């Protein structure tokens, strides 16, 4: 029987890991409101969401287990940024290619792409390709500055 999910049941499960059933999803599904998924135990879910889900949130509860959304790992370039100035420069140049970045202590992460790799090699920046749960920055709408209106 398919379970319908309209919102998360909780931001995190408080149950031990052995009492959690994972539903593995790709990062892009966190942007969608309607989709389907299959938990590791074979339980089917249909999502018709009021708001976005988050990695690690509980979507369904039973007496035996919490069903938890888990974002799949993906391949990323991890670029060493030992200083704030280096991080700003790397972030700016990658941003000019319109790729989202994740900021972690001493590194910037960006999805694997030939254009990004060309930039990294051209600039001779140290980087490695790794597999992680990629969680790029998301700016709230009020943080985006609209372009100037012509004639003002």
- Assess whether pLDDT exceeds 80 at residue 115: yes
- In the chain, which residues fall in CATH 3.30.70.790? 74-132
**Model confidence over 124-137: pLDDT tens digits?**
999 999 999 999 98
Encode burial over 93-132: b for 16+ CB neighbours within 10 A, e otherwise.
bbeeeebebbeeeebbbbbeeeebeebbeeeebebeeeee
**Angle (nearest 5°) at CA 99 between 78 and 25:** 75
Q: In what order do the strands lie in the sheet with 20-25?
A: 20-25, 66-71, 58-61
Residues forming CATH 2.60.260.20 domain(s) in the chain: 3-71
Assigned CATH class of 3-71: mainly beta
Q: CA angle, 102 as apex, 98 and 105 as ends, to 5°?
A: 140
pTM of the model: 0.79
Taking only the tens place, the pLDDT of each residue in 59-112 is 999 999 999 999 999 999 999 999 999 999 999 999 999 999 999 999 999 999
Give residue 145's pLDDT. 55
Task: Please say if the pLDDT value at position 143 is more than 70.
Answer: no
Segment 20-30 shows an average pLDDT of: 95
CATH 2.40.50.140 is right for the domain spanning 74-132: no
Q: Is the pLDDT of residue 140 over 80?
A: no
Percentage above 90 pLDDT, the chain: 87
β-pair type (66-71, 58-61): antiparallel
């Amino acid at each position: 029987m398919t379970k319908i999910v309209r919102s998360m049941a909780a931001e995190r499960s408080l149950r031990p890991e052995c009492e959690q059933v994972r539903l593995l999803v790709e990062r892009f599904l966190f942007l969608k409101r309607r989709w389907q998924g299959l938990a590791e135990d074979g339980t089917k879910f249909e999502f018709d969401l009021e708001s976005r889900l988050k990695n690690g949130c509980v979507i369904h509860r039973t007496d035996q287990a919490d069903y938890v959304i888990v974002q799949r790992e993906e391949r990323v370039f991890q670029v060493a940024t030992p200083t704030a100035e280096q991080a700003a420069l790397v972030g700016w140049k990658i941003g000019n290619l319109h790729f989202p970045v994740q900021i972690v202590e001493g590194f910037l992460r960006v999805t694997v792409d030939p254009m990004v790799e060309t930039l990294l090699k051209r600039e001779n920046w140290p980087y490695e390709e790794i597999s992680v749960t990629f969680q790029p920055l998301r700016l709230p709408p009020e943080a985006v500055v609209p372009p100037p209106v012509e004639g003002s």
